Amino acid sequence: MQVKAMNTKSFAAAAPAFALPVLFLGYAVVANYEFVTGLGRDIAEMPKSASAYLDGQAAVQIDAYYKKIMPHRLPSIDAMGAARYLLFREGRSGVVVGTDGWLFSKEEFDASLRRSPDLGEAAKGIAAIRDTLKSQGIELVVVPLPAKADIYREHAGAPAISDDLTKLYADFDTVLDTAGIRHIDARGPLLAAKDQGALFLNTDTHWTPLGASIVADAVGRALGHGDTAYTIKDLAPAPRDGDLSKFIVTGEIAPLVGLGPETVVAREAIAPEGGAGTADIFGPSNIPYVLTGTSYSANPLWSFGEDLKVQLGADVLNLAEEGKGPVAPMRAFLASDTLRDTPPQTVIWEFPVRYLGNQKLWDAPPATEAAK
């Protein structure tokens, strides 16, 4: 009797886990039956020529038809995603659900598992770029960015992963030291500033403008201040739909489960009247600073490049790119007319450590055309 009672309890506990797949399967059967029977009724509307099927026209029409007869498809997927999140605190592949409404990129968790133990490849790749720039009298300064699951370990729900991400940052620091590559610590200042406000968005991979300004201040203190007295002003608040919340739910359902847009107040650096600014970057024969890196620098919402201007007291040409990781934008700069025609004094390379888990990060051939 005891065994039977335990089995009954186990089934009751597991029942919700089976409910979502069963409901989804039932929905899929009904929906696709509706699609097939509807397609049969309206077959006269489908393309008749073989060429339409060869050039993809038929596929487009069938897809449009599918969406027309099933307008509830996307809302249903969102509803399933919301239920999965609320019941099991899970999302689709790409997101790790933490505590208190915090989401983390699966890429960060993978970085702690896939990284090369000695990070030798990263040191070799960065040293080669350092040497290329040095041959033209340009200094390279790397700014490693810590993982969100490291800075906000209390919300990540995976102490072992957070510990390894802390170690990953320390190991990267060590290999940069060993290779003689100048770098600026961002992790320490971010940890020290946690009581000032949110440094990363809850539902997004990226930092907030406050987090960016903390790191920009660290860069300014390390590199010194120029002669241009930039001021900074806040722009209008803007909603940001978290790039991680989209792995769970989108649209109107998101706010209902606590994953609605977060408000971001971007900032703009204002040059003094008559001072140097970004409008005349093509005039001078030399650019003080070039910033390159990832979406942490490229997206104007975070205002990293703008805060750097204030903290460095000098113009900063932002050549970072979104969606390409840290290496591709750097190699694009090395092959650019900017390097050949108006070389900077210093290149600041923002480099999130989570990319150190990408096994193909250094696969692309170096871009050195401009250095020839």
User: Which residues are 143's β-sheet partners?
Assistant: 350
CA-to-CA distance for 242 and 208, rounded, in angstroms?
Answer: 12
Tell me what pLDDT residue 372 has.
38
Cβ atoms of residues 294 and 329 within 8 Å = yes
Tell me what pLDDT residue 76 has.
55
pLDDT tens, position by position, for the chain (372 residues)? 444 444 544 444 444 444 445 444 455 454 555 555 555 555 555 555 555 545 555 555 655 554 554 455 555 556 676 667 766 666 678 899 999 999 999 999 988 777 766 788 899 999 999 999 999 999 999 999 999 999 999 999 999 999 999 999 999 999 999 999 999 999 999 999 999 999 999 999 999 999 999 999 999 999 999 999 999 999 999 999 999 998 888 777 777 788 889 999 999 999 998 655 544 444 445 789 999 999 999 999 999 999 999 999 999 999 999 999 999 999 999 999 999 999 999 999 999 999 998 878 888 655 544 433
CA-to-CA distance for 31 and 351, rounded, in angstroms?
Answer: 46
Tell me what pLDDT residue 360 has.
83
Q: How many CB atoms sit inside 10 A of residue 360's CB?
A: 8
Closest CA to 262 of 215, 206, 346: 206
Tell me what pLDDT residue 282 has.
44
End-to-end CA distance of the chain: 82
Q: Which residue among 204, 213, 245, 297 is the active-site one?
A: 204
Q: Which amino acid is at 359?
A: Q
Cβ atoms of residues 206 and 296 within 8 Å = yes
Q: What is the DSSP letter of 119?
A: -
Tell me what pLDDT residue 371 has.
38
Q: Which residue among 78, 105, 206, 315 is the active-site one?
A: 206
262-264 and 238-240 as β-strands: parallel, antiparallel, unpaired? antiparallel
Tell me what pLDDT residue 155 has.
97
Helix, strand, coil proportions of the chain in percent (round to 5)?
55, 15, 35
Tell me what pLDDT residue 276 has.
55
Note the pTM of the prediction, 2 decimals: 0.77
CA-to-CA distance for 113 and 205, rounded, in angstroms?
Answer: 19
Tokens of 283: 């005039």
Tell me what pLDDT residue 278 has.
47
Tell me what pLDDT residue 132 has.
97
């940890």: which residue's tokens?
Answer: 191
Tell me what pLDDT residue 287 has.
85
Q: How many CB atoms sit inside 10 A of residue 241's CB?
A: 16
Is 204 designated active site?
yes
Cβ atoms of residues 311 and 297 within 8 Å = no
Q: Which residue intervals of 179-303 are DSSP H helices?
A: 187-192, 209-223, 295-298
Tell me what pLDDT residue 53 has.
47
Tell me what pLDDT residue 258 has.
80
């919402």: which residue's tokens?
Answer: 301
Cβ atoms of residues 99 and 157 within 8 Å = yes
Is 155 designated active site?
no
Closest CA to 259 of 91, 24, 23: 91
Residue 290, class by beta-carbon neighbours within 10 Å (0-12 exposed, 13-18 middle, 19+ buried)? buried
Is 295 designated active site?
yes
Q: Which residue among 112, 295, 297, 303 is the active-site one?
A: 295
Cβ atoms of residues 268 and 235 within 8 Å = yes
Degrees to nearest 5, angle at CA 199 with 119 and 147: 20
